[in-house]
Structure 1
Amino acid sequence: MLSRLTRYFRVDPIANTGSVARDLLASERTFLAWARTGLGFIALGVALEKVEALAALSPTLLHLSDSRTKIAAGVLVASGSLCVGHGTIRYFSTLRHIQEGKFRPNTGGVTLMAVTCIGIAVAGSLLVIENETEKAKSETTRNERPDTQNNPSLRRSSLSALATPKAQRSS
């Protein structure tokens, strides 16, 4: 298995005629750009996942939903993995095409990246809007309830209501 992999990735020296070396170096730079973009998406997904740990410490982040944050982080990590995978495949196919004296435009990769970025932007916008709506609703309900922490008389009355048996409260 390992010998097949090394045989697949092994490259014989190529004669540097015309612009072959320049084209190969450009292909390497393009691969590194795909890898950098993919790692950026992955890092953003990991950072988003870690925001949940901060939510316990900061009351301003308590409105973040655990499941939506996990989904968003998973989408970012998956998108980053796709970028790195596509960049790797594209690099080796370009290398093979240069050896054969051919060129194939990268329309699939550009389309994939554009659709991925647009999808992440739309999903992120919807997530932000939904979180802000939930945050506003929770602040509204919090402001409508009496403040039992700062008002001792309300605290005592609510505690006495809890201590009173249910049958006495209903009559």
Structure 2
Amino acid sequence: MPPFRSLLRFIRAPPLPNTGSLARDLLASERTFLAWARTGLGFIALGVALEKVEVLAALSPTLLQLQDSRTKLAAGVLVAAGSLCVGHGTVRYFSVLELLKDGKFRPNTGGVTLMAVTCVGIAVVGSILVVENEADNKAREQDKEGEKKVTV
């Protein structure tokens, strides 16, 4: 058995009996899918916007001091996380649909875990990038001040 299966078994909860109204449950499932899609599209839009800011910074280097590799990496991570959210929401919707047909329901512990880990990861990496960028900016300012003192 691959290690992924054992991890999946640890994260996924067993199906539960569905004792509520089927129509209400299906509509709630659709709203949940739309929330996953909206969240995913928000991540994707943020990644695309970050890439566009980098293009504007390249046109006017004094506008923003961004490093290409960092912003490309951050934009790529945001687009990937958004795509993962949309994909998970789609898979989740259809798996819930099948379970509801059988009168069962499985809590979304895997998706919640995935979203929490993704958001914490993006926040940590984003914080690191901001701190590094600030340190780089301070080093550049000190270099400029040193050059001014030498030329005076």
Task: State the TM-score, normalized to the length of structure 2.
Answer: 0.82
For 2:145 and 2:56, locate their aligned partners in 1 and report how far apart those are by CA, in whole Å: 24
The aligned residue for residue 87 of structure 2 is 85
What amino acid is aligned across from residue 136 of structure 2 in structure 1? E
Aligned to 2:75, the other structure's residue is in SS state helix
Provide closer, same or farther for how the CA distance between residues 18 and 124 of structure 1 changes in structure 2, counting only shifts above 3 A.
Answer: closer
What is the deviation of 1:145? 1.0
**Gapped runs of 5+ residues in structure 2?**
1-18
Provide closer, same or farther for how the CA distance between residues 97 and 82 of structure 1 changes in structure 2, counting only shifts above 3 A.
Answer: same
Listed one character per residue, the Cα deviations across residues 92-149 of structure 1 (whole Å, up to 9, x for unaligned) are 00000000111111000000000000000000000000000001100111121139xx
Q: How does 1:84-123 map to 2 (within 5 A)?
A: 84-123=86-125
**Gapped runs of 5+ residues in structure 1?**
1-16, 148-153, 155-171
What amino acid is aligned across from residue 103 of structure 2 in structure 1? G
The aligned residue for residue 61 of structure 1 is 64
Q: 2:142 aligns with which of 140, 143, 146?
A: 140
For 2:51 and 2:21, locate their aligned partners in 1 and report how far apart those are by CA, in whole Å: 45
What amino acid is aligned across from residue 59 of structure 1 in structure 2? T
Supply the RMSD in Å over aligned alpha carbons: 1.8
Aligned to 2:24, the other structure's residue is in SS state helix
The aligned residue for residue 29 of structure 1 is 31
Listed one character per residue, the Cα deviations across residues 40-76 of structure 1 (whole Å, up to 9, x for unaligned) are 00000001111112213251412x1100110010000
For 2:20 and 2:121, locate their aligned partners in 1 and report how far apart those are by CA, in whole Å: 41
For 1:45 and 1:121, locate their aligned partners in 2 and report how far apart those are by CA, in whole Å: 14
For 1:143 and 1:70, locate their aligned partners in 2 and report how far apart those are by CA, in whole Å: 30
What is the deviation of 1:30? 0.1
Provide closer, same or farther for how the CA distance between residues 82 and 90 of structure 1 changes in structure 2, counting only shifts above 3 A.
Answer: same
What is the deviation of 1:31? 0.1
The aligned length equals 132
What amino acid is aligned across from residue 110 of structure 1 in structure 2? V
Bigger radius of gyration among the two: 1
Aligned to 2:104, the other structure's residue is in SS state coil
The aligned residue for residue 73 of structure 2 is 71
Q: Which has the higher contact order (CA 8 A, sep 6+)?
A: 2
Q: Which runs of 4+ in 1 moved over 3 A?
A: none
For 2:54 and 2:105, locate their aligned partners in 1 and report how far apart those are by CA, in whole Å: 46
